[in-house]
Amino acid sequence: MASGQLFSKQTQALFYNYKQLPIQRMLDFDFLCGRETPSVAGVINPGSEGFQKLFFGQEEIAIPVHSSIKEACKVHSTADVFINFASFRSAFASSMEALKQPTIRVVAIIAEGVPEGDTKKLIAYARANNKVIIGPATVGGIQAGAFKIGDTAGTLENIVESKLYRPGSVGFVSKSGGMSNELYRIISRTTDGIYEGIAIGGDVFPGSTLSDHVLRYQNIPQIKMVVVLGELGGRDEYSLVEALKQGKVTKPVVAWVSGTCARLFKSEVQFGHAGAKSGGDMESAQAKNNALQDAGALVPTSFEGLEPLIKETYTNLVEQGVISPIPDFQPPPVPQDLSVAIKAGKVRAPTHIISTICDDRGEEATYAGVKMSTLIESDKGVGDVISLLWFKRSLPRYCTKFIEMCIMLCADHGPCVSGAHNTIVTARAGKDLVSSLVSGLLTIGPRFGGAIDDAARYFKDACDKGLTPYDYVEAMKKKGIRVPGIGHRIKSADNRDKRVDLLHKYGRTFFPSIKYLEYALQVEKYTLTKANNLVLNVDGCIGSLFLDLLVSSAMFTQQEIDEIVEIGYLNGLFVLARTIGLIGHTFDQKRLKQPLYRHPWEDVLYTK
């Protein structure tokens, strides 16, 4: 491996398996370091294409999303780092494919638990083709002031405190990603900061070793000293011991192997990493520390002694003129995400939507404050749900039963009415369910099913003003307005609409008052003197009875009643009900595999 620097301020990566937070942290680090271009060139999400919106400082940018590794490498030929956030199940296949791409030089495998056999195959291929693997089970690595992988170094606060926004003089390598964050802080307190840091990962077989990176650091002129943090288990540290003994590493190496407490336990202890368990005396932390010290590394007597030893080593190099401390500067502030700033109480932001009928933020969604489980457990029905979501209150059972009756009675009225006809024609044209449904719903209006609101509005106005049926009907006639809720193309005084009879009977039986229905029936009595089909139709019956419901329930103010009628609540009942029937007609036509509809010539009057 050896060679030298892995990353620079121009390095770009391809990110496999989109994760918003790690990518945003990379882009925030870019901004902090003053990079001109984002370090993430593209995202690879198998089966997906398009863009993902993220922030590069104050600017919102669109990062391309590709469906395959090969395509992404072809489009972004200068991106030579592959950051793999795949699960341990698919990490091998995606990592191997990336290694085989000529443009990819470094592969970072984040997943823990990659099968050891698969890891060995990746390592063998990488070594044979002069490529670098960081991981598996790694947080990644960082080039201070230039480039970082994923979540390396943690939060922006830790990055700033650790002076990682500009390069220092120390090379650092560790097995642990979590402890890397701690060491970055320690090194920033005792030196001018790190130049490069790598967490090789805690699995038994890391893709690159501690000594691989220390030997690289030997070849990087900007790195003047090296800090190594190992751990018990495995024999990786002994390859560094040999390199020190052979004189391949001449820069000062401050090292510590964690896990000295393992000897206090009577049986073998498995620490956090898969490789962090001692398989014999040579794999113990004490044996490794002794071997490193004997080979010339600077090793403290405990972890607590590591910080002062790093400081002493750095100070000596400064005094010897080997290190000229890198001057510090204040990095630019990274703009906070709005959600973070709001949570911290730093800004106030107006909401874009107001909702008063439901809340889905808790463990269980609520309708007007009532939990869904309560509705089910108390044996409530669709009428109760409508009363909560439409009227924001629990109406009495006779009211919700009336709502359900309206839905049942208005669900369908045969295939010949205009709404059903439109839906049938659309369904037979091969259109989908939503298109077929909407074609029927768009027919609803003043002439078809949309008269409930108007009927309620006009009946209420006339009744409240004390107009006689004669005065009301004749006034409407003078205005050229049909009386809403009166008249039917088929039904008549001799052939009553059964739906109207059922609703009429229910209102008389259960409603405390049917003042508006009584007025509508008086209007019908007068209109029948003009024509036998000018009967109270289902729209008029529902409209008048709904007025009676609103008034007699004593649960609505006069202003609320006027608003309900004006907004169009009552027509909402017809729309909701007829949706059931229109869906049924759509399914019926598709089930019957009916062909495209063409209206017959003989049913058209062709004229000039």
pLDDT tens-digit profile of 230-253? 998 888 899 999 999 999 999 999
Helices (H), 50-115: 69-75, 91-99
Residue 5 forms beta bridges with which residues?
none
| Three-class secondary structure assignment of 5-26 | CCCCCCCCEEEECCCHHHHHHH
pLDDT tens-digit profile of 592-608? 999 999 999 999 999 98
What value does the mean pLDDT of the chain take?
93
How far apart are the C-alpha atoms of 213 and 210, rounded to whole Å? Answer: 6
Which is catalytic among the residues 273, 413, 504, 585?
273
pLDDT at 5 over 80: yes
Phi, psi of 503 (to 5 degrees): -65, -40
pTM of the model: 0.70
pLDDT tens-digit profile of 386-402? 999 999 999 999 999 99
Question: Please, are residues 141 and 152 in contact by the beta-carbon 8 Å criterion?
Answer: yes
Question: Please, are residues 216 and 2 in contact by the beta-carbon 8 Å criterion?
Answer: yes
Phi, psi of 148 (to 5 degrees): -140, 155
Q: How far apart are the first and last CA of the chain?
A: 90
Going by pLDDT thresholds of 50, 70 and 90, the confidence category of residue 349 is confident
DSSP labels for 407-465? HHHHS---SSSHHHHHHHHHHHTT--HHHHHHHHHTT-BTTBB--HHHHHHHHHHHHHH
pLDDT attached to residue 122:
98
Reference 524, options 498, 490, 487, 491; nearest CA is: 487
pLDDT tens-digit profile of 253-303? 999 999 876 565 555 555 544 444 555 678 889 999 999 999 999 999 999
Question: Please, are residues 84 and 109 in contact by the beta-carbon 8 Å criterion?
Answer: yes
pLDDT at 408 over 50: yes
pLDDT attached to residue 152:
96
| Residue 352 appears among annotated catalytic residues | no
Kindly state the average pLDDT of the residues 493-511.
94
Token pair for 245: 């003994």
Kindly state the helix (H) or strand (E) to which residue 225 belongs, with its residue range.
strand 225-231
Question: Please, are residues 98 and 207 in contact by the beta-carbon 8 Å criterion?
Answer: no
Q: Token match 């510590």: residue? A: 256
pLDDT tens-digit profile of 74-113? 999 999 999 999 999 999 999 999 999 999 999 999 999 9
Query: What's the maximum distance between 2 C-alpha atoms anywhere in the chain?
Result: 117
